[in-house]
Structure formats: C-alpha cells, structure tokens
Structure 1
Amino acid sequence: MLSYLHAFHAGNFADVQKHAALSLALTMMQAKKSAIACFDTHAGSARYDLRSERARKTAEADAGVQVLWRIREQLACSDWEPVLKVLAEDNPGDGPLQDYPGSPAWFARLSRPGDVVTAFELHPAEERQLAGWANEAGVKVRHEDGLKGLLKCLPPPQPRMLTLIDPSYEIKSDYEAVAHTLARAWKKCRHGVYLVWYPILTSGLEQKLTEVLQTSGAVRKVLKSEVTLDQPPERGMVGSGMLIINPPWGFDERLGAMMADLHGPGRLGLSHGMEWLIPE
C-alpha cells in the first residue's frame, strides 16, 4: 500500500516530537568533528505548505508546530534554538508558519560539510517531489524501500551514523518489520544512532514493536520517549513515541527538558514519559 501522504499531517504534535529528537541528536553528535552518515528511511516530499488543501483538511499543524511557534519566546530549554532557527529561515515574519520542513529537510539544514544525507522514498509522486528538491539540497535520493535500502548501506564509510526510521505503519506488519530491521542494522553498525518513530494508538498496535525488540535481545541501549495528548480522541492516535537506540550521552535529560516545554496551559497539551526500554 502506498496511499499515505504526510502532507495531511505535516507539523502535527508528532512531528514536533520527532523533529525535536532529530535536531537534538544531530547537534549533539556534531560536537565531534568527524563526518556523520545520515539516513532517512521514509523521507516523504521534504517540504510542506501548511496553507495547502491537504494540510488544511486536517489542520493538525494548528495544534502542533503552530503552537510551538506562537510560544517560542516562552520556551525554557535552549535546545529548541536549532529548531526555531530552521523554522524562522523558512518563514520570515511574525505571523503563523506557512512552510514546514519534512525530515530530509531537517537533516539537510542541520548537517555540515562532510556529513552525507541519504533519503529513501518508495511512493512515486512523493519521490519525484523529493528528488526535485534534493538536487539543490545536496541530498542523495534512492527510490526504494527504506528498510531494505538502509541495510544495503550499512556500515557507511563515514565514521559515525544517524538514522531516522518513521514509516506510516499503514500496514500492520510494519511494526515487526521495523524491529527486525533494527536488529539486523545493529549487527552491521553498532556505533550508529537510530531514531524510530511510532504512533501511540487506542488499539495498542504499537506495542508489537517494543515487544519484538525486547524479546529478541538483539539490540541494546534503547531509550523510549512518549508524549500523550492530555485530551485524546476516542479513536486513532493518542500519542507519539520515539525509540532512540544508542543515544548520545545526556540525550535523555536534554530531550526530557524539551518535551517539558510542551506541557501546560496554552501549550501543546502533551504529557511526556521516558524510560530505558532496554538498558546497555
């Protein structure tokens, strides 16, 4: 199935959590000068117009990144600065955000000379838009399944690696597929940092991902970060989760501080929980 289009959900609360974790991991890794191989397994089209018909149909950004932008001067954690800088460069002026970068754009904007970004996208229409953008952004695009493609690229020639895995999970087997891919990737590249996004659903389907990882025993050093809506819907997605495999030292405290900024009156209405799913 290739029916999922992220344009309907760009900038929602899950994107805020996901791209906060991505920006934090990348900036922390850049404390060392050695090059980083960056992989985005489910890249999408890279850029999203929040004024488009698709975005306005769901208006999910209104309760997500638009709120973050509105309260930007009230954010206590300084680790939001790279996120706000990227948003400001794409959205001059003081009004609501008009454009939102997808994951490959976050990689491209935050990477340094010497870092290499590779984006995978299987959806034909999304891949065409991604490839057109990538020519100027300096991003390598591969039109193939991102989970299989990632394994082909490991280990990378660069001394360090950061990977984002965030399928739509429109196919229920994606949860197990992600877990099995992580186990194989970990064997190929144990020094890499892996970020895995997943939805938290009323059905509880996402628990299959964590169950398979825990029972397999193939992956170590797995941090789990989850945000849940204070006023969840009766059906569908009630929260957003991230698994961070092999996070930089101190990442848990710094991401926790960022997520704390999203809780409280006038904010995103998110509660945050964090634990080590699998210790070192």
Structure 2
Amino acid sequence: MLSYLHAFHAGNFADVQKHAVLTLALSMMQAKPSAIACFDTHAGSAVYDLESERARKTAEADAGVQKLWASRNGLVSSDWQPVMQMLSRLNAGEGRLTVYPGSPAWIRQFLRPGDALTAFELHPAESGQLADWATEHGARVLHEDGLKGLLRRLPPSQPRLLTLIDPSYEIKSEYLDVADTLQKAWQKCRHGVYLIWYPVLTSHLQTALKQAVKDSSLRKVWCSEVHLRMPPERGMTGSGMLVVNPPWGFGDRFSAMIEDIAGDQALGISHECSWLIPE
C-alpha cells in the first residue's frame, strides 16, 4: 500500500519530536571525529511546502512547527539552535514558515566530509522528488523497501552508524516488521544508534512494537513519548521515539528541549521518557 504522503502531515507535533531527536543525536555523535553512515529508511520528499494544498488541507503544521517557530525567542535549551538555524535558512523573513525540511534534509545539513547519507523511498512520486533533491545535495537515494534495503547494507564502511526508521504504519504488520528489522540490524551493527518513530494511537497498536523490542535481545533502548494535552477521540494522540544506544546524557538534554515547548502556550504536549530496556 503506497497511499501515504507525508506532505499532509509535514511539520506537525510528531515531526517536531522526531526531528529534535534526530538533530540532537547527530550533533552529539559528531562530538567525535570518526565518520558516520546515516540511513533513512522512509525518507519522503526531503522538503515540503507548508503553503501547498496538501499541507493546508490538514494544517497540522500550525499546531506543530509553526508554534515552535513562534516560540523561538523563549527557548532555553541551546540544542534548539541547529533546528532554528535550519528553519531560518530555508525560510525568508521572520513571519510564518513556508518551507519545512524532511528527515533527509535534516541529516544532510549535519553531514561532514566522510559522513554519508543513504535515503530509501518506495513511493514512486516521493522517490522522484527525493532523487531530484539528492542530485544537488550529495545524498544517495534508493527506490526500494527501506527495511530490507537497510539490512542488505549493514554493516557500513564508516566506523559509526545512525539509522532513522519511521514508516507510516499504514499496514498493521509494520509494527512487528520494524521490531524484527531493528533486531536484525542491531545484530549486524551493535554499536549503531537507531531511532525508531511510532504513532501513539487510541487503538494502542504501538504496544506490539514496544513489547517486541522488550522481548528481543536488544540493550540500551530509551523511549520518549509526547502526548497531546487535548487529544482527539480517535487516531493519533501522541508520538513516540525509541533510541537504541543513545549518546551519554541524551535523555536529559532531550527532555530539556521538550520542556521548552510542552506548555499550553507552545505545542500543548506532555512528555514521558524512560528506559524501555536499561543500560
């Protein structure tokens, strides 16, 4: 099934959490000089027009990145600086954001000489736009299933690994597919940092993913969930991230980032975090 298009949801509260995790993990990993292989299993289009018909149909960015941008002068954590700098570069002026970067664009912004980005995208329209973007930004794009493609390319030639896994979960079996892929990837590259996004749903389908990870042989898995203070009666009420092998001190720094934006005057979310599997 390939009906999902992220353009309808770009810049929503879940993107804010996901990309905050991604940028913090990258910046902390780059405290060491050794090269990093970055993989994005469900890369999307790389860059999104927040004024497009698709984006305005849902207007999800209004309650997400637009509120983050409006609150930028009150942010305390310095770890928001790379995020604000990226948004500022892509958008002219100080008003509302019109452009929002997807995960491959966030990763590409951090790449140093020796680092590499491999982006997978199976949707034909999305992969075409991604490939056009990649020709100007030095990324490798592969039009194939990202979960299978990742496993075929591990371990990487670079000494370190960062992987983002964030399918749409259109198909219910994807929750267990992600857990299975994560286990196999970890066995191939145990020192890698793996970031797994999942929706928090009223149906609680996400619990199958979390339980499967708990039952695996994985170690050092940190879990972050943000929850809408005024959730809908059905559908997505929050957003979750699993971080395998987080850099030392990651949890405290990320929690400080979320504290900046959790109030009702900002994104209207609450945050829960803990070790899903202890160190």
Q: CA deviation at 1:92?
A: 2.0
Equivalent residue number for residue 186 of structure 1: 186
The alpha carbon displacement at 1:102 in A equals 0.3
Q: How many residues align?
A: 279
Q: Distance in 2 between matches of 1:255 and 1:103?
A: 18
Amino acid at match of 2:214: Q
Q: Look up the match of 1:158.
A: 158
For residues 113-168 of structure 1, the C-alpha deviation after alignment (integer angstroms, 9 at most, x for no partner) is 21100000000110000000000010000110000000011000000010000000
For 1:36 and 1:18, the matched residues in 2 are separated by 19
1:200 aligns with 2:222: no
User: Displacement, 1:213?
Assistant: 1.0
CA RMSD between the two structures: 0.6
Q: Given residue 222 of structure 2, which amino acid in structure 1 is its aligned partner?
A: L
| Alpha-carbon distance in 1 for matches of 2:241, 2:257 | 14
For residues 1-280 of structure 1, the aligned pairs below 5 Å read 1-216=1-216, 218-280=217-279
Task: Report the Cα distance in structure 2 between the residues aligned to 1:206 and 1:100, rounded to whole angstroms.
Answer: 27
- TM-score, normalised on structure 1? 0.99
Query: In 2, distance between residues paired with 1:45 and 1:236?
Result: 24
Q: Which amino acid aligns with 1:70?
A: A
In structure 2, what is the Cα distance between the partners aligned to 1:145 and 1:222? 24
Q: Distance in 2 between matches of 1:39 and 1:215?
A: 25
2 CA distance for matches of 1:256 and 1:111?
25
Distance 1:187 1:263 in 2: 36
State how far apart, in whole Å, the 2-side matches of 1:23 and 1:155 are.
22
CA displacement, residues 167-208 of structure 1 (integer Å, 9 cap, x when unaligned): 000000000000000100010000100000000000000000
| Structure 2 segments unaligned to the other structure (5+ residues) | none
Q: Deviations over 1:31-89 (max 9, x none)?
A: 01110000000000101000000000000000000000001010111100000000000
Give secondary structure in 2 for the equivalent of 1:261.
Answer: helix
Q: Please give the alpha-carbon distance, in whole angstroms, between the structure 1 residues aligned to 2:207 and 2:130.
A: 31
Structure 1 unaligned regions, length at least 5: none
Regions of 4+ moved over 6 Å: none
Cα distance in structure 2, aligned partners of 1:263 and 1:8:
23
CA distance in 1, matches of 2:57, 2:110: 30
Q: Write the distance in 2 (CA, Å) between the matches of 1:59 and 1:211.
A: 33
**How far is 1:279 from its partner?**
1.0
Shift of 1:262: 1.5
Tell me how far apart the structure 2 counterparts of residues 114 and 87 of structure 1 sit (CA, whole Å): 25
- Secondary structure at the counterpart of residue 275 of structure 1: strand
Counterpart of 2:2 in structure 1: which amino acid?
A: L
Secondary structure in 2 matching 1:257: helix
Give the aligned residue type for 1:56. Answer: R
Distance 1:265 1:173 in 2: 35
Give the TM-score taking structure 2 as reference length: 0.99
